[in-house]
Chains A and B, each alone.
Chain A
Amino acid sequence: MRRDHPGLSWPRPPGADRVACPSCDALQEAPRLREGEAAHCGCCGEVMFQNRPRSLARATAFSASALILMVLVHSFPFLTMQATGIQTRLTLLESAAALLNDASPVLAAAVVVFTIVAPLVIAGSLLYVTAPLRNGVALPGALTLTRWIERCQPWNMLEVFLLGLVVSLLKLGHLADVHFGIGLWALVGLVLCLAAALAGIDRRELWDRLEVALHSPPRRP
């Protein structure tokens, strides 16, 4: 129940001592893992879950950094282009607005969901859930938000957008004066922080800790 046993596995709610391999459905006892270890399925060898080192601290720190970088990403342009006295700048919102003006509202909505909404839901929910969990507390709505983290993960495409930026840069380089902005470096940081936050805590550990927190009376320090 306490978090001052860094070598030990996370607290487990009753009934969570069995695991069915997500790949082959073999039912087995869920082993207790030390930090840095991974549990492999005894039947197909697939990794079933892991105990990430200092998971809650890392998930909290990286999701908080991701949120801060997100502010920078939306305030400063990735690229600015100068040609014949006209200057255009690129941010995520402006790219969605341009698509809207070009009469492709569905495409604009897709860009907003894949590059703004999904990353925001993931980073915001992860911070909201993991930070209080460090003290064994689950805030109201934590269950719903954790479900949304799972749901949003495949649709977070910021790293794909970053590759798109690189390709566009190569395309435009010879055409006009293109300058990098702070937004581009913030985006690189955001992609890395989001990946680190999600990789920082195993899905199973997050759910186990959440269940323990929800079913135990609040502790006073």
Chain B
Amino acid sequence: MNRGTRAIDLGLASCHTCGRVSPAAAGHCPRCHSAIHLRKPASLSRTWAFLLAATALYLPAMTLPIMDVQGLGGTGPSTILSGVITFWEMKSYPVAIIIFLASVVIPIAKVGALVWLCLAASGRAAGAPKHHAKLYHLTELVGRWSMVDVFVVAILATLVQLGALMTITPGPAALSFAGVVVLTMFSAMSFDPRLLWDREFGGSRAA
């Protein structure tokens, strides 16, 4: 593999906003005036902090009701998981699968992936930086789709306002879950993928 010069070795930073390479000592990008850093500041601590907050919010998001169905045809409050089970029993498999993927699989996989990336960046997990970088791009891409359940609740709460017959109102879990998605997105944004390569390059120079 070609191990050429890296920008950090020359004190150069590429701007996070516009990609311009300029001396990091200036503090601001000469082109777009954003703040520039050699690496995202406190990247790992911020990523860990957002991850912890997201995990903490995930508990109320799963245990509290996400929506409340009141009225004659009402079934009362339901959580994310009880909703998935209801739809599976009603044989609406696509709905059950989409909700299960978006609300359970993706958030947990995303948190798991970011934990692994943080460990890899601090040298405590195995794997090639190239694969880690792929994993990072995947986490960034997939995370926002978790928001689908929150939108479904918003749509149902708007449409199903049929007075005594049936009314749907959002429950406390909807807000917690939106918080989980936003926090994991912040977590992914705080992570600097170049940290994954710093060990590789640093190690090769020491050898």
A residues adjacent to B (C-beta < 8 A):
13, 15-16, 18-20, 22-28, 42-46, 49, 79, 81, 83-84, 86, 88, 90, 94-96, 98-99, 102, 104, 106-107, 110-111, 114-115, 143, 146-147, 150-151, 154, 157, 160-161, 163-165, 167-168, 170-172, 175-176, 178, 203-204, 207, 211
* A27:B10 contact, CB within 8 angstroms: yes
- In the complex, which range does the number of interface residues on chain B fall in? 35 or more
* B32:A146 contact, CB within 8 angstroms: yes
- Would you list which residues of chain B between 128 and 161 have a CB under 8 Å from chain A? 129-130, 133, 140, 144-145, 147-152, 154-161
The secondary structure that dominates the B interface is helix
Cα–Cα, bound, A20→B37 (Å) = 13
When distances are taken between beta carbons in the complex, the residues of chain B under 8 Å from A46 are: 133
When distances are taken between beta carbons in the complex, the residues of chain B under 8 Å from A19 are: 14, 19, 21
* A44:B189 contact, CB within 8 angstroms: no
**Interchain CB contact (< 8 A) of B158 among A27, A98, A207:** A98
Chain B residue with minimal CB distance to A163? Answer: B148
Chain A residue with minimal CB distance to B94? Answer: A170
* A98:B157 contact, CB within 8 angstroms: yes
* A157:B162 contact, CB within 8 angstroms: no
B197 within 8 A of partner (CB) = yes
- Would you list which residues of chain B between 1 and 46 have a CB under 8 Å from chain A? 1-10, 12-14, 17-22, 31-34
Q: Known contacts A19-B14, A164-B152; is A107 also within 8 Å of B178 by CB?
A: yes
Cα–Cα, bound, A175→B98 (Å) = 20
Cα–Cα, bound, A3→B88 (Å) = 57
Cα–Cα, bound, A49→B6 (Å) = 18
* A20:B148 contact, CB within 8 angstroms: no
